[in-house]
Amino acid sequence: MTMIVAVKWSNNIIMTADKRQTETDSCSGELLKVKSDEYIKIKIIDNKYIVSFAGSTLIAEKAFELLNQNVDVLNLHSIDPLGIFRNSFKYGKAHFEAVYPGIKPVSVFYVGFMREHEPKLFGFSSDDDYSGLEIEELSMKMNSNSNGDAEKEAIRFISAEVLKRDHYYKNPRNFARLNFKAIKRADDEMIGKTAYSVVISPDGIKEYHHN
């Protein structure tokens, strides 16, 4: 499944996600097989937005299909980009419900971008129909069969490391590596040991692969 870390820190947005793609039983959620450890769960939209996802791959794929069709609309100054993202996530959810009636759709998205040189980070969840919540520092989503302890432990680990070496983690590449260390610590067969990070800042977008 997925572990995603999304951070707003030192005028940057840093997103990191493991690259494991799994096949699970649609009813029980039980792991059936690992399909890939090179599946990218963070997308760059129009070189301006970064979007990561956890949960249903089908919801995400359909949402990105609609987003790609609306790239030109995202560039209009009169349009609220969050509305475009929200509608795309809802479109993906509706497609899932049509394909799998009676099964609860589960998905989370993080959206990061720069607005007048200021980083903006928002989280969206299928639990509230993607109403959207602005995130000021750190957020994490672990979508697996584990309980919430692993997620809490990862947040504690990142927070403690930043507290010890605040200046070091002002460098977004170092923070991306820290996110990867937190993901690797998760003892869960559904969370991969390879990851991908994207950083967005006033200087642009950078990508990092972690192995």
Residue for token pair 């995202």: 74
Strands annotated E in the chain: 2-9, 12-18, 21-24, 31-36, 42-45, 49-55, 107-115, 118-125, 133-134, 138-143, 195-201, 204-210
Rounded to whole angstroms, how far apart are CA atoms 54 and 69?
A: 22
User: What is the pLDDT, as a whole number, of residue 75?
Assistant: 81
Write the CATH number for 140. 3.60.20.10
User: What is the pLDDT, as a whole number, of residue 34?
Assistant: 80
pLDDT along the chain (211 residues), means of 10: 91 96 71 85 96 94 96 85 96 97 94 94 97 96 70 93 96 97 90 95 96 94
Count: domains in the chain: 1
Domain that holds residue 82: 2-210
2-29 residues labelled b (16+ CB within 10 A) or e (exposed): bbbbbbbbeebbbbbbbbbbbeeeeeee
Taking the whole predicted model, whether its pTM rises above 0.85 is answered as yes
**DSSP 8-state assignment for residue 70:** T
Rounded to whole angstroms, how far apart are CA atoms 107 and 105?
A: 7
Coil, helix or strand for 200? Answer: strand
Q: Report residue 208 as tokens.
A: 């990092």
User: What is the pLDDT, as a whole number, of residue 119?
Assistant: 96
User: What is the pLDDT, as a whole number, of residue 29?
Assistant: 64
User: What is the pLDDT, as a whole number, of residue 147?
Assistant: 55
Q: Which residues, other chains included, contact 42 with Cβ-Cβ below 8 Å and sequence gap of 6+?
A: 15, 16, 17, 50, 51, 52, 196, 197, 198
Residue for token pair 């979007």: 51
Residue type at position 93? K
